Amino acid sequence: MNSNNTVACPLDCYDCCEAVYDEKGNCKGSKEHKVTNGKLCVNFANLLNEEYLVEAFVDKKGVPLQTALSATVEKLKSSDPSKTLYYKGAGNLGVMQSAPKTFFANYGSVLTRGSLCDGAGAEGLEQGRGKVVNPPIENLVNADVIIVWGRNFSVTSPHMYNLVKDKTFITIDPIVTSIAKQSKLHLQLNPKTDHELALLLTRFAYMEDAEDENFIEEYAEGADWFFDTAKGRPIVSYQNTTGVSLKDVTTFFEIIKDKKVALMIGVGVQKYYEGAQITRTIDSFAGYIGIHNKEAGGVWYLDDSSYGYENKFPVTAKKRVDVAELDFASFDVVFIQGANPVVSAPNTQRVIDGLKNSFVIFYGTTLNETSQYADIIIPSSDFLTKKDVRLSYGHELKAISHAVKKAHANTISEYDFTQYMNEAFSFESLEDEDVILSSYIECQVDKQESFIETLEFIEDVEVDALYEGKQEDEYYLITAKRKESLNSQFSSDDKVYLHSQCGFNEGDEVKLCSSFGEAKFIVSLSDDVKSNSVLLFSGNKNGNYLTPYKSDEASSSAMFQEALVRIELS
């Protein structure tokens, strides 16, 4: 195989695919990349069919790229750096996409902190372990039973799933997801009771003699305190609040008894104010039954994909703001790279109002709902036309991208954009592009990095239950991934999914209201949804009108599901 014809999928998903681009312009899955395994998914196909942006704009008028770049320099030179914001999204997760952040940090822009995705869960795992690193992919392949907790594994990780699709699955999720339908057991718990279920499972682990005394003695701290927390209330009360029967819990332990167990934790469990605590409680249960540090199985979340690599784009920000709470209107200039906050950030109306009252510079490969508010639009070169490396947060493998097509003359890569801006402001140039890439390509992270040296069990779990303040006419808000799109990219599903017992009809136009906003939706009935919940897929253009623009308690991150909604006919 020609080593210079591989391309890395830049999309924000676990699998981190690598493709081979042939002389006829066809892309095929790399057979040499263990996870891709010669196949490409629907999202990669969507990516190849994108209509990429090849025209720059200033004041809504098409202009040459150089005109837009000059206008950007002029605007930034005439602005107070402390009143400018640099906002980066996850439209492309290649390592070179971080280059522009170095310029804006040197310039003095305000940067963001926290996450719109996995921040709370990562914080919870780090509190317990000190790091967030997944086990080697072989550990997943060698597991006997895979517990999928708050993650629609076959949809969000189709390539990883294909490696283990013949395994025994247990799903824990409020929604009857695709993977739940293929599972031997589905624990359909109530939203925001995952920590309670983890404590209930810990109680049963003790009764079933399933605790791993060797792991606890050698690697863990605080197991006794954790168990005391788990037994601090009657068992039957857990059944009442989680909605999971004790019979199903007994079946759970029958399935995993004497088996090599893998636990796939998704971001669904941590989209709440106390998301860090919730995730840490689940991880503590995993430690209690000894899933960690085995030759098969383990716990997977969103790995810190850069762990073990030298950061070639380090930045020191003069000021940061929480990404979930930022007010775009408080900045004179907002630079948005590879993002669509109008759809993906919490509280859409607040985002739109803010963008309307700021000068917006948009830098990306495609137009979207956010770019319509931009004063300057700069086209980024697409992933087939620039060199990059994609590190995975789902496993330890990386994917290499070569420039297999010539870039359009009216587009510019992130590296070249940063060099242009550095020169315009007389800042120090970046290191040579090939040297930067080589450092990532040549670095081999030791698989032992995933070894947990110490696990500190969570000792006090203090989570305010949504069910305690929930009124009879209110529903839990659930957001989930769908197969046909990736967050706000590609096709959009703007429906609200309700159980058939909801009292509404298929096709009804309804208004959903939360304490943060309201929006209209078309009803689609599905008994995959619990009767006490509403389901919106990620990328729903109206979904975030309902979500809070406040940060979670521990990680400065968004908490999209910390909301209750009412429904009325529109």
Could you tell me whether strands 168-172 and 56-58 are parallel, antiparallel, or unpaired per DSSP bridges?
A: unpaired
Strand partners, 18: 8
> Which pLDDT score, from 0 to 100, does residue 489 have?
80
> Which pLDDT score, from 0 to 100, does residue 3 have?
63
Compute the average pLDDT of residues 288-310. Answer: 95
- The helix-helix angle for 235-242 and 246-256 (nearest 10°) equals 100
Mean pLDDT of the chain: 95
Helix (H), strand (E), coil (C) string for 287-347: HHCCCCCCCCCEEECCCCCCCCCCCCCCCCCCCEEECCCCCHHHCCEEEEECCCHHHHCCC
Distance CA 482, CA 492 (A): 10
> Which pLDDT score, from 0 to 100, does residue 2 have?
45
Given pLDDT bands bounded at 50, 70 and 90, which one contains residue 270? very high
Contact 89, 378 (CB under 8 A): no
Find the range with the poorest average confidence among 29-43, 68-82, 422-436: 29-43
Asked if the 53-115+313-398+408-442 domain carries CATH number 3.40.50.300, the reply is no
In the predicted structure, residue 1 carries a pLDDT above the cut 50:
no
Q: Is this model's pTM higher than 0.75 or not?
A: yes
Compute the average pLDDT of residues 14-33. Answer: 91
Could you tell me whether strands 56-58 and 61-63 are parallel, antiparallel, or unpaired per DSSP bridges?
A: antiparallel
Q: Which of 6, 18, 5 has its CA nearest to residue 44?
A: 18
pLDDT tens-digit readout, 194-204 = 999 999 999 99
Compute the average pLDDT of residues 69-90. Answer: 97
Share of the chain above pLDDT 90, in %: 92
> Which pLDDT score, from 0 to 100, does residue 44 have?
87
Given pLDDT bands bounded at 50, 70 and 90, which one contains residue 487? confident
468-569: CATH, from 1.10.490.10, 3.40.50.261, 2.40.40.20, 1.10.357.10:
2.40.40.20
Query: Token pair of 254, please?
Result: 């029958």
Dihedral angle over CA of 492, 494, 499, 505, nearest 10: -130
Distance CA 152, CA 175 (A): 9
Q: Which of 71, 514, 463 has its CA nearest to residue 281?
A: 463
Compute the average pLDDT of residues 509-514. Answer: 98
- The helix-helix angle for 194-207 and 235-242 (nearest 10°) equals 150
Neighbours of 28 (CB within 10 A): 13
Given pLDDT bands bounded at 50, 70 and 90, which one contains residue 486? confident
Query: Token pair of 103, please?
Result: 């310029």
Query: Token pair of 415, please?
Result: 């590296």
> Which pLDDT score, from 0 to 100, does residue 509 have?
98
Given pLDDT bands bounded at 50, 70 and 90, which one contains residue 325? very high
Compute the average pLDDT of residues 9-24. Answer: 91
Distance CA 6, CA 164 (A): 25
Given pLDDT bands bounded at 50, 70 and 90, which one contains residue 28? very high
Query: Token pair of 114, please?
Result: 């926290």
Query: Token pair of 428, please?
Result: 């120090």
Strand partners, 537: 480
CA distances from 213 to 61, 187, 292 (A): 68, 26, 13
Query: Token pair of 317, please?
Result: 């920000």
Supply the DSSP string of 88-143, one letter for each residue. E-SS---GGGGHHHHHHHHHT-BEEES-SSSHHHHHHHHHHHSS--PPPHHHHHT-
Domain assignments of the chain as residue spans, ordered by start: 53-115+313-398+408-442, 119-301, 468-569
In the predicted structure, residue 34 carries a pLDDT above the cut 50:
yes
In the predicted structure, residue 439 carries a pLDDT above the cut 80:
yes
Contact 350, 333 (CB under 8 A): no
pLDDT tens-digit readout, 101-134 = 999 999 999 999 999 999 999 999 999 999 999 9
Q: Chain-centre distance of CA 96, in angstroms?
A: 19
CATH number of 119-301: 3.40.228.10
Compute the average pLDDT of residues 398-409. Answer: 96
Q: Which residues, including other chains, have CB under 8 Å from residue 418's CB and lie 6 or more apart?
A: 99, 100, 102, 103, 430
- The helix-helix angle for 223-230 and 194-207 (nearest 10°) equals 110
Strand partners, 111: 320
pLDDT tens-digit readout, 377-395 = 999 999 999 999 999 999 9
> Which pLDDT score, from 0 to 100, does residue 315 have?
96
Contact 538, 494 (CB under 8 A): no
pLDDT tens-digit readout, 147-167 = 999 999 999 999 999 999 999
* 53-115+313-398+408-442 and 468-569, same CATH topology: no
Distance CA 547, CA 559 (A): 8
Compute the average pLDDT of residues 8-22. Answer: 93
pLDDT tens-digit readout, 218-239 = 999 999 999 999 999 999 999 9
In the predicted structure, residue 409 carries a pLDDT above the cut 50:
yes
> Which pLDDT score, from 0 to 100, does residue 413 have?
98
Neighbours of 141 (CB within 10 A): 14
Contact 408, 54 (CB under 8 A): yes
3-class state of residue 103 by DSSP:
helix
3-class state of residue 568 by DSSP:
strand
In the predicted structure, residue 349 carries a pLDDT above the cut 50:
yes
